[in-house]
Amino acid sequence: MTWLLSLLVNHSDVLTIAQSELDNHVGNQRRVQESDHRHLEYHKAIGKETLRLYPPGPLSLPHKSMEDCTFSGRSVRKGTWLIVNMSKIQYDPRVWSDPDEFRPDRFLATHKDIELRAQDFELIPFGSGRRMCPGVNFALRVMHLTLATLLHGFDFVRPGCKPVDMTEGIGLIVPRATPLDVLLSPRLPPHLYG
């Protein structure tokens, strides 16, 4: 969520579109609900693009080859430990145009059929197949509802005129190097915050 909010604060045009989608679908007389998510296509695209750029973990869990095989033209012997660099896959310029750019609209056009829980190996922030993260469904539901609730309820701005620092810290889950600092102001009528 921190990476997602950081990206949105740095890309105010994307933030404006996301809030407009909420205003058009939910309005300003009620709170956003989980059932609204199925109608928020741009929010889904923002989530996918954020997970492409900043997967929860850049490397997969170690896997052990059960038999001799060939992978990408290389021989892999039985018993070899394999670790997939998921970040490298998700930044592959043969798959993603401008792979370093935050462009959620790519998931509404050229990559609209790519799903996080499918066998689309271009986007595997939670792994794939039998060894996929068992918490993926919960994580996505919480991420989307939290994002929609925050964007619906508040405007976000940077405290200064400099962009939010996107430097990655050190760790298994790729933390931010510096805390996210934003100013919030309410967008909805006061009775909806009680």
pLDDT, tens digit, 9 for 90 and up, residues 98-110? 999 999 999 999 9
What are the residues whose beta carbons fall under 8 Å from the beta carbon of 12, sequence distance 6 or more? none
CATH number at residue 137: 1.10.630.10
Contact predicate 80/63, CB 8 Å: no
Distance between CA atoms of residues 98 and 90, nearest Å: 11
Q: Is 133 annotated as a binding residue?
A: yes
Domain residues for the domain of 165 are 2-58+87-193
Q: Give me the pLDDT at residue 118, please.
A: 64
CA angle 107, 49, 177 (to 5 degrees): 170
Q: Would you say residue 76 lies in a domain? A: no
Backbone torsions φ then ψ of 94, nearest 5 degrees: -75, -20
Domain count, the chain: 1
What digits encode the pLDDT tens for the residues 144-180? Answer: 999 999 999 999 999 888 999 999 988 878 889 999 9
Tally of residues, the chain:
194
Q: Would you say residue 73 lies in a domain? A: no
The residue type of 111 is: H
Q: Would you say residue 8 lies in a domain? A: yes
